[in-house]
Amino acid sequence: MRVSLCAIVRNEAHQLGRCLASVAPHVDEMVVVDTGSTDHTVAIAQGFNARVYEFAWCDDFAAARNAALAHVTGDWVLVVDADEELVVVNPAWQQVLAQTAPMVLALNREEVGLPNFVGGFHPRLFWHGPGVHYEGRYHEQLRYPEPVPVQPWADVRLKHHGNADPEAVRRKTLTRDIPILETMRRENTLSLWLLDCLARNYDRTEQWEQADDCYQEAYGRLAPHLQSGEPPTDLFWVGTVLQALSERAIAAADWETARLCLSQGLRWCPNFPPLAFWAGIWLREVGLPLGAIAYFQQALVWGMTGHYSRQEAFDPAYLQLHPACALGETHEQLGQWDQARAAWQQALAADPTWEPAQVAIARLEG
């Protein structure tokens, strides 16, 4: 049983060494495809005895991944990007892998410099079976001719440094990510998931009108389903988009749109904590605080039991900090001081430095 690293790189001299040093002791070959570096990236890869190939970048991540896959000879393929490190949790992971049936293994990924989201998956270790390939210009997806099992795997994980430098992230967003996604939009190949990615890229680069336009398009795609009650064929990322649409509608006091997004969203994605939280906010804002309390409490119960959906990644604050704060505010509105104090204390248990909770407890005890 042989394991191959498969990586695509471009101008990664500042971090490729860290990546390859973490991987090299654990794989049988390293295949690196360079997509047009003008720095010392290629020399660094060669210094780790990687087999380096050239590929002309064409704004298509799947094309570059497939070019790299074409040179892989191992039985299993490990995909690690230049801004990531491989972290070995189980030193015997290769022996475990040798006894694993052909499948796709989803690895945990730790974010450096950002909160680690709950849920989501990173299918980065997979059987090198016939016909395996990638599809999609952006956030490329692994495909097999026939369905292959996908399961979480904790024997190794990834550490992601790519968001540690905000200015570098901004440059990449403006010069690479948004142009690729807009090309896909013109080609009518932008999924609801990637439309949300485009909207968030516009948000993080302060292009508010463009972000609003993306979310209006997302609502237009979902509107027939929201009005009929018939769920979309593919529910992936629908919960996250409906969360974003609900949040924006509540901010605009568009109560009917928020109600529609939240009611159908909770029917289709009933265990998705962000939707439950925003349903509570909506109920409180329209004057139904007791109903709001039930939703905030449900989110807290999910946080304690772990019985919630992990298909889509979300901020873990939706499992304790956010609902505890909202619960504290709501109990205060109702004059329920003991319950409010207990809720604010839950918020502080989640984040002892959270100033709104500190201020609230000082106010209640003053």
**Domains of the chain with CATH codes:** 3-160 (3.90.550.10), 165-230 (no CATH), 235-366 (1.25.40.10)
CB–CB of 69/132 below 8 Å? yes
Q: What is the mean pLDDT of each run of 10 residues along the chain (366 residues)?
A: 97 97 98 98 98 97 98 98 97 96 94 79 94 96 94 95 90 96 95 97 97 98 97 95 98 98 97 97 98 98 95 93 98 96 96 94 87
pLDDT value of residue 114: 73
Structure letter (DSSP) for residue 99: T
Residues in the chain: 366
List residues bridging with 86 in a β-sheet.
158
pLDDT value of residue 32: 98
pLDDT value of residue 365: 86
Q: Which candidate, 339, 347, 273, places its Cα nearest to that of 117?
A: 273
Cα gap 314→320, rounded to integer Å: 13
CB–CB of 61/140 below 8 Å? yes
C-alpha dihedral over 340, 346, 350, 355, to 10 degrees?
30
Q: Which residues contact 322 (CB under 8 A, 6 or more apart)?
A: 277, 299, 315
pLDDT value of residue 68: 98
| Nearest-10 crossing angle of helices 238-251, 255-268 | 160
Q: Which residues contact 210 (CB under 8 A, 6 or more apart)?
A: 202
pLDDT value of residue 164: 85
Cα gap 247→275, rounded to integer Å: 9
Cα gap 136→187, rounded to integer Å: 12
Measured at the CA of 25, the angle between CA 152 and CA 122, to 5 degrees, comes to 20
Structure letter (DSSP) for residue 346: H
Q: Which residues contact 84 (CB under 8 A, 6 or more apart)?
A: 19, 109, 158, 159, 160, 161, 162
DSSP 220-254: HHHHHHHHH-PPPS--TTHHHHHHHHHHHHHHTT-
Structure letter (DSSP) for residue 154: E
Cα gap 339→328, rounded to integer Å: 7
Cα gap 144→150, rounded to integer Å: 12
